[in-house]
Amino acid sequence: MRKKILAGMLVALMAVSMLTGCSGRPDNAKNNSAADDSKKKTEKVELTVWAGAEDREYLKKVADNFIKEHSSEADISIIHKDMVEGECRSNLLGNVLKGADVYTTTDGDISAIAAGGAADPVKNADTVKNENLASAVKAVTVNNTIYGYPITADNGYFLYYNKKYLKASDVKSLDRILSIAAKNNKKFAMDWTSGWYLYAFYGQTGLKVKLNKDGVTNSCNWNSTQNQIKGTDVANSLIRIGKNKGFENTTDWLTGIKKGKVIACVSGIWDEAAIKKMYGKNYAAAMLPAYNCNGKKVQMSTYFGYKMLGVNPYSKNKEWAHKLAQYISNEDNQKLRFEMRGQGPSNIKAGKADEIKKSQAVQAILAQQTYSELQRLGGNFWTPSSNLGKALANNSISGNLQNYLDKIVKQINASTVQ
């Protein structure tokens, strides 16, 4: 009897042992899974973003939303450090290891940043291509690789005007604008002391200035005697405009508008709020007009630029940096950027939003984009082109005009190596 009882107990113990063994693995897996989830939730991710001080309020709102949306995945903190877009390149290449995880830069600098090994290729190239304007995608592409997330498509210039004096049909012609301005003792204002604006008269003439393959020197033919529209044709047209009583060469058109003196000016979206307030119900914006050049009607052009977000390849949280850059650049946040910062979107769907369609300035710069090109210039362009603009505006060129243009172009094309 005792043997039967002992045998029964042994069978029971073996059964319990087998049951425990079978159920042990799922329990352990469950515990490990819970531990992994806990680890994921408590993972600390710190990201630094370089952007302009004026973006602080906007980026805080976007960052807070990003942190909230990913709160179940990681404990994220995002630090905004002020950095002017134009200074990002030098600061980043100066010490990329101390650079921000995500930084704001421009199309003019992204090539150098990528060449310097400070830009990580985007992880979702097709998404960037499909969601943004083709020109914006081109601006962030270096040697067939996309190195940034476009966030704006508005860095160019167009025409602001006062509807009290000028009709929509009037602003298609610069000669018409100047005539009406002179007749009313008013001014059309533009800055000819900057080659950036002076380019407006050359962009559609066939006369070119571009950066050479060395990435440093320029190739300019604004003095051409062979082009259908010669360098002297453009120069003489600008001298004629400069003499017009309705024209003013100035960098301060805002003061002129405030005083009721300026009824039209060439500027960018950054001046929209101020000009809209001063012109009031008579505020309007349009693409640049055409001007008369030796009997030919030439459409004025603009240099066009884009802002973008880059990701530091040495970021300790590179995957999260890409997620944040993509998030900031998405449709909803480009709409929010327009609402809070007044900047035009590169995102195609965002650009079709009703509130953006109502912005005359955004629509003007988008229309002007057809007559534009990316700014790719070496440093020697700026001083000679400024001197050219001032001389044409003041009609202060003595001697042979062709010789003067040859001298200016030689300076623009000069090697930086002495």
If we measure between CA atoms, which residue out of 403, 382, 361 comes closest to residue 157?
A: 361
How would you classify residue 295: left for phi > 0, otherwise alpha for psi between -120 and 50, otherwise beta?
left
Q: Find the Cα–Cα–Cα–Cα dihedral 48, 52, 55, 61, rounded to 10°.
A: 10
Specify the amino acid at residue 162: N
pLDDT confidence of residue 4: 42
d(C-alpha 358, C-alpha 356), whole Å: 5
CATH of 42-154+305-370, one of 3.90.1310.10, 3.40.190.10, 3.40.50.11600, 2.40.50.180: 3.40.190.10
- Contact between 106 and 155 under an 8 Å Cβ cutoff? The reply is yes
DSSP 68-132: HHTTTT-EEEEEEEE--HHHHHHHHHH-GGGS-SEEEEEHHHHHHHHHTT--PPPS-HHHHHHHB
Specify the amino acid at residue 59: L
pLDDT confidence of residue 108: 87
Q: How far is CA 129 from CA 126, 136, 327, in A?
A: 5, 9, 15
pLDDT confidence of residue 39: 53
Angle between helices 107-115 and 85-94 (to 10 degrees): 10
pLDDT confidence of residue 215: 82
pLDDT confidence of residue 216: 87
Helices and strands: H and E segment counts in the chain: 18, 17
d(C-alpha 324, C-alpha 329), whole Å: 9
User: How many CB atoms are closer than 10 A to CB 39?
Assistant: 9
263 CB contacts (<8 Å, ≥6 apart)?
161, 162, 164, 165, 166, 180, 181, 184, 186, 187, 188
Angle between helices 231-243 and 401-413 (to 10 degrees): 110
Tell me if the pTM is above 0.85: no
Q: 157-303+373-413: same fold as 42-154+305-370?
A: yes
CATH code at 157-303+373-413: 3.40.190.10
Per-residue pLDDT of the chain (418 residues; tens, 9 = 90+): 434 444 444 444 444 443 334 334 444 444 555 555 555 556 899 999 999 999 999 999 999 999 999 999 999 999 999 999 989 999 999 999 999 999 999 998 998 999 999 999 999 999 999 999 999 999 999 999 999 999 999 999 999 999 999 999 999 999 999 999 999 999 999 999 999 999 999 999 999 999 998 888 999 999 999 999 999 999 999 999 999 999 999 999 999 999 999 999 999 999 999 999 999 999 999 999 999 999 999 999 999 999 999 999 999 999 999 999 999 999 999 999 999 999 999 999 999 999 999 999 999 998 999 999 999 898 899 999 999 999 999 999 999 999 999 999 999 999 975 4
If we measure between CA atoms, which residue out of 121, 112, 72, 66 comes closest to residue 92?
A: 112
How are beta strands 247-249 and 296-299 bridged, if at all?
unpaired
d(C-alpha 413, C-alpha 276), whole Å: 40
89 CB contacts (<8 Å, ≥6 apart)?
105, 109, 112, 113
Q: Where are the domains of the chain?
A: 42-154+305-370, 157-303+373-413
d(C-alpha 51, C-alpha 102), whole Å: 9
